[in-house]
Structure 1
Amino acid sequence: MKHSLFTTAVVGLGLLAAVPRSQAQTADQKFGVSGYVSTLQYRGDLGSNFWDLRHASYGGGLTLSRYISKGFDINLSGNQAVLRYPGDGSSFTNQNPALSNGRRFSANVTNLGLGLKFKLPVKDEFFVHPYILLQPGLAIVYTDRYASPTAANSRTSFGSFDGQVALGLDFHLTPGFGVFVQAGQHYLDRDDDRLDGVNSGSSNFFDKYDRYMQFSAGLTAAFGKAKDTDGDGVPDRKDKCPDTPTGVKVDVNGCPLDTDGDGVPDYQDKCPDVKGLAALQGCPDADGDGVADADDKCPNTPAGVRVDATGCPLDSDGDGVADYLDKCPNTPAGVKVDATGCPIDTDGDGVPDYQDKCPDRAGPASNKGCPEIKAEDKKILNEATKYINFDFNKATLKTSSYAKLNQMVQIMNDYPDYSLSIAGHTDSKGADDYNLRLSYERAASARKYMLEKGIPADRIEARGYGETKPIADNKTAAGQALNRRVDFDPYLTGDTNAAEAKYGPAPTIADIKAAGNKLPGKKTTGTGAPRSRKAPLKKAPTKKRK
């Protein structure tokens, strides 16, 4: 098979294309093509012609290199040359008499390798760059061997792993052109001596393997565009502002132009012809409030006054009074304020209207700004349960109850900011559902009376708790009497119903009717006693009920 430098170059180019691209910082021109001449010198079982150039044979090669960093390159190299021993093909002066017996050979050697080039990490612009090359690869050998000066040749060919270690110097003559010299030694991986046809049988590494030296010298042309990350026309190695946005005009150092010299580049400067502040994108601020003059609706704001985005004094609570004049700067949104920025207090009780449940009537803050019910009126309400009586086993009010109910009507008229909770209760005698209905109906009866006296319906609620909320022991007659009651509790309209706060939730009569339901239990308007929960063992005399 015919081998040529053209074949070597094609294979090398293909392998280089498969090498991953480095992402590290590189020189301006990071690819190189080197052409060179070389000579090979043998050392092995037959002898050695290392460092003997008297009968040198020459070849050549091609290297493609990729700059990775100032301390490391990677390359692909292909070389073809003739390796002979003895050097002139006939002289036996350097033979090993014990082994050669007149043997000689001539080999056409092609090697391809992937090289790792470790350079002295000097600056890229430095003139000379020493390096060490470690290059594993493949050797393809076509050899003619002669067992004696008169014997016919024995031709063979083979492929072998080929490892090269070399030292070299790169000389950078110009940014895109250089020369290099290199000396290295190749080792083949086979120990069957297919190169020279002789096996020494030695176990010593340096005697066991046939090897050869390669001396090379050549020219390197670097190519590739200088790296300009931001595309501003200034190479990165000279660019003092390498991250300039695309399309921005720059100076000779690669930095954006700044026409007015205020430290804000023109492409970011909203006022490129007038010196300004960086915080205001290059625009001036006459009153120093942090808002550019062109956007300032209050350009003469006093020094030190906090302003909003328009340059006007800040009004944090949005009440129309600037903070520096506002004595109450944290007023909730929507609250009406006076000239000092404080919430209006119409009745002057110290409770601002927005917190005052009774803004037109003075009252203490402890009672949410509403007048407190007088002690004598509270007493009437607290004792009302003693005077509200009903017909036996019915929800019909006795006429003796009217006087006390009229007093409560008057109290409700005197305190229009209050509502009244009416809660009915029974003792434990009788069936649960019967007692529950009776308590509802008695509470409703009292409510109805007061409504008929003109109290608005939304100011009175009636609930029934049956026998569930006793205040005394139901085992005694006295306790049962105390448990049969109707409570009257006032509360500020809008607050939690007083009965619910005291006893827990229970639907009002209005709730029950709104849901389309009937009051629980049997009707209590009759005169008969409710059925006991447990039937008596014998007939007992009828007892008075509630």
Structure 2
Amino acid sequence: MKHLNKLFVAALMAMSLNAQAQDEDNPWAISFGVNAVSTRFGSGSDLQNNFDKYFKTEEWNVLPSVSYINVSRHVGSNFSFGLTGSVNKIDKMVQRTVGTNSHYIKHVDDLTYYGVDGIIKYSIMPKSWFNPYVHVGGGYTWLDEQGNGTVNGGIGINFWFTENVGLTLQSTYKHTFEDQFGEANVPRHIQHFAGLTFKFGGKDTDKDGIYDKDDACPEIAGLPQFQGCPDTDGDGIPDKDDACPEIAGLAQFQGCPDTDGDGIADKDDACPDVAGPASLQGCPDTDGDGIADKNDKCPDVKGPKENGGCPWPDTDGDGVLDKDDLCPDVKGTVANRGCPEVSEEVVKRLNDYAKTILFNSGKATFKDETYVVLENMNKILKEYPNSKFILEGHTDSDGSNALNQTLSENRAAAVKTWLIEHGIASDRLRSVGFGETKPIASNKTAKGKAENRRVEVKLIKE
């Protein structure tokens, strides 16, 4: 019986294995029970004679205790590999009378039977409660101190009571190639097994009753209909596929709700409680100007986006919108982009002032009384902020032509510079000098020369 103790220790070691491989639910199995040894097979004169007493139990040698243990592991494609250890007491040997087909039972002293066998099984109906299988293998069998290697094969059936517990019945033919009647040899025989089988090793990390190998969410408890994944909000969409796992929603929106029914999921809807078009992220546009009410400063009146959804104003009432009006605070004309147009009368006023500009003799510097004139010109120019002018400088004929040309240019430039420094945009003014080439009076009289020393203002028409 000391050998039985060894078998139980081996069984406990096998059950303590932590199976990590994944296959048919529970990849490991352990079986234990009783075994019976019949030595009739091989003593018959032909195959029929070997099988005709297959169920003749009085020829069986049975040890009335747990006498075998098998540990096996599924390796894929309905195949499993295992190792069986068995013990028995042999006191009946079936032998055939030489030259006849008759058999008799030879009683022998209790011979201790040991078997260690490797087994490869192929399950025929692995998913059924009724699970037949065939097996092959080999091993070594001892009778007392004598032993022989064997080639094995047979059939078996598992009857599964539950997913993990079943009854196993198996018959294994062990073939030796030795003399069947030699005293030092192990005869060919059949070994029958009956016992309980326990499957284990299936991993269910989240304890939801679905093995990790079949569980799409192995670390979170879930439902069978969702391959082990949870559906927190109960909307029929598993959390792993649900864009809003904690709020019940619709499948068409990946599990998210659409509160206002505008066809835009709340998570993508900037106005989830008020229906609106997709083009405005689900927000309404009351005035139909293409700007969502929430961003429209004038939600009831159409207006451009550039002005916050409000109509453009026309502050000066000249018919040119402020956005296009270069002079939004001064009434002008459409033709002049909202600015007042410079009339001939205005140009005349400018020139009336320009004629009174006085320079120090031979220089481009102003006399003191000229600054009042320049200020009046500046005021007029500011009334027409969109108009451009050219300032022309002229001299009398005293002095050389070259000197007069330079002096005329410098004096026109001096007027331009003063006006720019006092608020007129530089791109509105140009200056040019003509020297003595364009007199308006005779240079033979003092009066004529005074008239020729002048600055003229002309409107640049574009």
Length-normalised TM-score, structure 1: 0.42
